[in-house]
Structure 1
Amino acid sequence: MAVYFECFTKTEMTREELFEKSLNIDAHSGSMAESGERAVDGVVTGQIALGEQVTWQAKHFGLPVRMTSEILELDAPRTFTDQQVCGPFKKFHHVHEFFESTTGTLMVDQIHFEAPLGPLGWLAERLVLSWYMPRLIRMRNAYLINSEH
């Protein structure tokens, strides 16, 4: 059974600025400094585009993790979707949407993921990943809207 959650982030940035920042590999690496996440294959710096892949390497819970994601859909500056093609999850699908508002931009992250390992994965989803994954997305988004990157 998959986990689904949404994160809502408001900023005074324009939709175009936030959209571009969200596709920037260097900005993502900066936002995940706590876990040492860095791009090690595919697009490893600058902007990632439709059909391109990036492989991330990080440590979460003291364990090394590698995950390759691909940009499956892109409609600038409204939305893009990335999905794991290889990595720790049975499934990982992330839709990023950007809406103009009277005060700037509303970014909505919609994430579906499923852990592997059947009943053990289900337990990990419920006990750890269901709070840990939204925390990572909130950290990433706070970095994006507050950094000069």
Structure 2
Amino acid sequence: MSTLIEVVTEIDAAVDVVFDLELDMDVHAASLAASGETATTSTGRRRVALGDEVTFRARHFGVVWRMTSRITAYEPPRRFVDEQVRGPFRALRHEHVFDDLGPGRTRMTDRMTVTAPFGPLGILVTRMLLAPHLRRLLKRRSAHVKRLAESRT
């Protein structure tokens, strides 16, 4: 059983600016600095593209987590998808969608689908603990991207 988490953020910046910030792993890590998050790309570049892998490392709930995701869809500046290839979940798929709302305005939508390991217990833990935590992380990251994007206009 999968759990869907969706966060929508409206940003006063052009869609290409927001898209580029979302692909920048230094921006990603800075947005989640409170958890000590790092993001290391398979290419050594900070900006990811189709096929690239990123290994995230962070401390959540007092435990150090490591997850590697691959960019599996890439449609600049409208959409990209990253999916877990190694990590704590049975599956994790994160779709990033960018809608142009007119001159200098973007709607950024994060759709994260998480499938927990460990059967019914994993489902319960995901719904009660992990999904709310992941939603807070997505909101924190979105607010950071919004601040950066709007400061560039």
The bucket for the TM-score relative to the shorter chain is: over 0.9
Matches within 5 A, 1:1-149: 1-40=1-40, 42-43=42-43, 45-102=45-102, 104-147=105-148
Relative to structure 1, the CA distance from residue 43 to residue 56 in structure 2 (aligned partners, 3 Å threshold; closer, same or farther) is farther
Superposed displacement of residue 114, structure 1? 1.1
Offset from partner CA, 1:40-71 (integer Å, 9 cap, x none): 45245520110000111110001010000000
Superposed displacement of residue 115, structure 1? 1.3
Could you list the structure 1 runs, at least 4 aligned residues long, displaced by more than 4 angstroms after superposition. none
2:125 and 2:131 map into 1 onto residues whose CA distance is 8
1:41 and 1:87 map into 2 onto residues whose CA distance is 15
The one-letter amino acid of 2:127's match is R
Percent identity over the alignment? 37
1:4 and 1:127 map into 2 onto residues whose CA distance is 13
The one-letter amino acid of 1:48's match is V
Q: Which runs of 5+ in 1 are unaligned?
A: none
- Matched residue count: 149
**SS of aligned partner of 1:94:** strand
Superposed displacement of residue 133, structure 1? 1.0
TM-score (norm. length: structure 2):
0.92
